[in-house]
Chain A
Amino acid sequence: MNIVVLVKQVPDTESPRKLKSDDSTLDRAAADGVINELDEYAIEEALKIKEAHGGEVTVLTMGPAKATDSIRKALAMGADKAVHLVDDGLAGSDALQTSYAIQQALGRTGFDIVILGSESTDARTGVLAAMLSERLGVPQITLANKVEIDGSAIKAQRVTDYGYDRVEATLPAVVSVVEKINEPRYPSFKGIMAAKKKPVETLGLGDAGIDAAQVGLANAATEVVDFADAPARAQGQIVTDEGDGGAKIAEFLASKKFV
């Protein structure tokens, strides 16, 4: 089975994140880059599918040169090879353009399943799986917390507000996962050493057959028109318990519509 897992490098949520004032894009140099957390679950699920059904796991990453660190980590976890889509012309691409670029790269790798995290911690649009399935013309299974494959059939549980939906489709398909689906493994030391020898193919726009006029900040369909720092946390409210503490807590929770 040809399993492609999409891995995005994002700024570490533990470090301060900011947008650049000149073009309103993410300042990737200002913070350490890490694998988008939900993508770690996608990598784990890809490895589990491979372990159960055989095949090969390919990491596909679109991002600047420093995203290599995240690719190496995914390979150290156990993925077999990687494709790194890197080109200055891709900088500032929005979700629509990203889905196009990835579609083009997938044209080179082929796929039976494309797995990705349901959203990234930086942009948080959460639309890539849907856009990609539309472009590829294959079923989309989103927000999966359980995936089973039986021949060419894929069955999944999709998380909803009220519980979950049972969803079935036929491969090839695009699957996005949530954190309840598994517990991502750590890379092993042997995996770290082995990752050094695994193939990483670097693709530019031309290699992937991407039309430069359809990607990049200047051609984006969406635009960040304004942004501001999150407001500082306000002083909390201190309530003195004079025998009516319970009632006051209930009152507070009700006022915030928690109860």
Chain B
Amino acid sequence: MPSQLLSRRDLEFLLYEWLDVERLTSRDRYADHDRSTFDAVLELSEQIATDHFAPHNKLSDAREPTFDGERVRQIPEIKKAMEVFSGAGLLGAGLDAEHGGMQLPYAVGSAGFAWFQAANVATSAYPMLTLGNVNLLMAHGSPEQIDKFARPMVEGRFMGTMCLSEPQAGSSLTDITTRAEPQDDGTHRLTGTKMWISAGDHELSENIVHLVLAKIPGGPPGVKGISLFIVPKYLVTEDGALGERNDVVLAGLNHKMGYRGTTNTLLNFGEGVHTPGGRPGAVGYLVGEPHRGLAYMFTMMNEARIGVGAGATALGYTGYLKSLEYARRRPQGRPVAGKDPATPQVPIIEHADVRRMLLAQKSYVEGAMGLVLLCASLADDAATAPTEEERARAGLLLDTLTPIVKSWPSQWCLEANSLAIQVHGGYGYTRDYDVEQHYRDNRLNPIHEGTHGVQAMDLLGRKVVAGGGAGLAALTERIGETVERAGKAGGELAGHGAALQAAVTRITEVTAALWAPMDVEAALANASVYLEAVGHTVIAWIWLEQALIAAAAPPDAFYSGKLQAARYFFRWELPRTGPQLDLLASADRTTLDMRADWF
């Protein structure tokens, strides 16, 4: 039976037939690779995800981590999964060879990692956070910091976290209060509290490397005064051995709706529970220069947001495949045109409304996977395309798409999970089946790594207006190229292309109209409607790209399915953007004018 985590066939379609990742092997960075190494990574990822991540997905949800005041306890399967993952060398797959990596293209790495996210999104959070931490240190850490903290993470001995939010400052980082006092020996001592820190404490690794945003007293106010520090759970001696326990302690675990296998913590820094060097205060090491912490953190933001979108997509994908299998096996009812009770019941996939729910899921998850892998591929191009112009063009398009690749899958692959539950009927609402957990797990994704609302303001307030509108132009030009090819293909695809072009033209007009009055408050009031309209238009573009390839291929069930899903998206989904763009064009002030005391 084919996997119910992801579709290998679809990943191959997207990577090889559409994005043509094999072209990357002509670039120096990827010269050691070829199709066989890409395939081997995908196969290895599927195998380990299937053998060591999927089997404890339900168990780690049912038996969430506990804290007895001293230690965090988790089911042992998580540690075993991490050992296998690290042992296979997958964490460092994309890193530079000089840092122990294998220089795997990010697009292929993202497809491989999606297997782990589909199998067990909570356990996969540990390596994902660790990799984000490693990437940041590789980019901005000193050689000594890389040796001492990043390398052991690549080897799987240490794990990492990102400590941004505080109890009083979540999305609003300008209001963080964690202090970092400079010391005579060049280190800093940190005091403060960090909230929502995933993987903030556990016993899965020898050490935990926290990357912490804090303010050095006397620095500039607001986000311009934020610096970045390495705060390890255990100090590391010159020879790399574990030293004293640092003054960072777990205050408590958060008990979540989903993602339960990932510890999510409140951490206290510098409370004096431990006294490294004989006195309280968490020892921290400044990364890069003072007051540039947020900028460093944001250099990794594109990848982090692609990663969240990929996780949302993977959860949507596995829910889709499970509901598809259920619909094929579950007999219930008879065709509306022949209700003779003497005839056997038909599998529910024979009912048009069930196929509607499956088609919707297919169009969301395969569209989202296309967007995720396109963005990952753009990250590869932004780093390694042959000319400066190509790199800049890819980077600009990626910047524009980043809020969409984070938000669209988080919204619509969650909806896919809701439909997967619906296809299962009452069984889908029980814990006997997997889909209710996928829904709960996926519900995090519109919240973390920049909420839906934050992404909306990023898209409308920054990305589409960047460079005097160059951000939006980068997107509309690329879409225009696809529309042109669709026009040449003729027939139904030309029709899709015309519909897409109409939506794009309207978006350009509406964007200009929103910003014409130069009223930031009014322009951004309905930003999430804008994000959703542009998001649906972008996914329509992704579907037109997929349809162009499917239409040119020898017909079979796979390609017919692609064409039908594209048809569904253009007939059922893209038209949703009409009323959204009408609302935006009307400069509607309903939310803006509503007052707190009217509720």
Contacts and interface: CB of A to CB of B under 8 A. Distances in A.
A70 B90 CA distance: 21
A201 to B, nearest CB: 19
Given A14-B1, A187-B88, A192 B41 contact: yes
A68 B314 CA distance: 31
22 contacts: A72-B36, A72-B40, A73-B40, A76-B40, A186-B44, A186-B47, A186-B84, A186-B88, A187-B40, A188-B88, A188-B89, A189-B89, A189-B90, A189-B93, A189-B102, A189-B104, A190-B102, A191-B89, A192-B37, A192-B41, A193-B102, A196-B32
Contacts of A186: 44, 47-48, 84, 87-88
Interface in B59-110: 84, 87-90, 92-93, 102, 104
Given A186-B84, A187-B88, A193 B37 contact: yes
A14 B32 CA distance: 32
Contacts of A196: 32, 34, 36-37
Contacts of A188: 87-89
Contacts, number: 41
A72 B92 CA distance: 21
A240 B89 CA distance: 53
Interface in A179-201: 185-193, 196
A72 B89 CA distance: 17
A190 B47 CA distance: 17
B40, B48, B87, B92, most chain A CB atoms within 10 A? B40
B21 to A, nearest CB: 16
B48, B88, B90, most chain A CB atoms within 10 A? B88
Contacts of B89: 188-191
A72 B34 CA distance: 14
Contacts of B93: 189
Nearest to A187: B44
Please give me the 8 A-B residue pairs with the lowest Cβ-Cβ distance, nearest first: A189-B89, A192-B40, A188-B89, A190-B89, A188-B88, A186-B88, A189-B93, A189-B102
A186 B87 CA distance: 8
Given A189-B41, A196-B32, 13 more contacts: A14-B1, A185-B87, A187-B40, A187-B88, A188-B89, A189-B44, A189-B90, A189-B92, A189-B102, A191-B89, A193-B37, A196-B34, A196-B36
Interface residues of B, number: 19
B552 to A, nearest CB: 25
Interface of B: 1, 32, 34, 36-37, 40-41, 44, 47-48, 84, 87-90, 92-93, 102, 104
A76, A187, A188, A193, most chain B CB atoms within 10 A? A193
A147 B363 CA distance: 53
A189 B32 CA distance: 13
Interface residues of A, number: 14
Contacts of A192: 37, 40-41, 44
Contacts of B104: 189
A68 to B, nearest CB: 9
B445 to A, nearest CB: 27
Interface in A181-233: 185-193, 196
A232 to B, nearest CB: 15
B44 to A, nearest CB: 6
Interface in A65-100: 72-73, 76
A193 B40 CA distance: 9
A193 B1 contact: no
Contacts of B87: 185-186, 188
B97 to A, nearest CB: 10
A192 B89 CA distance: 10
A186 B44 CA distance: 8
Nearest to A14: B1
A72 B40 CA distance: 9
A198 to B, nearest CB: 13
Nearest to B39: A69
Nearest to B40: A192
A158 B88 CA distance: 31
A76 B43 CA distance: 12
Contacts of B92: 189
Contacts of B1: 14
A114 B93 CA distance: 34
Contacts of A73: 40
A185 B44 CA distance: 11
Interface string A132-157: 00000000000000000000000000
B29 to A, nearest CB: 14
A89 B48 CA distance: 37
B580 to A, nearest CB: 44
Contacts of A76: 40
Contacts of A187: 40, 44, 88
Interface in A33-83: 72-73, 76
B88 A189 contact: yes
A189 B40 CA distance: 8
A188 B36 CA distance: 14
A250 to B, nearest CB: 28
Nearest to A76: B40
Nearest to B3: A14
B402 to A, nearest CB: 27
A193 B84 CA distance: 18
A185 B83 CA distance: 12
A191 B88 CA distance: 9
Contacts of A193: 32, 37, 102
Contacts of B84: 186
Contacts of B41: 189, 192
A166 to B, nearest CB: 32
B453 to A, nearest CB: 39
A16 to B, nearest CB: 10
B432 to A, nearest CB: 20
A188 B88 CA distance: 4
A40 to B, nearest CB: 11
Nearest to B90: A189
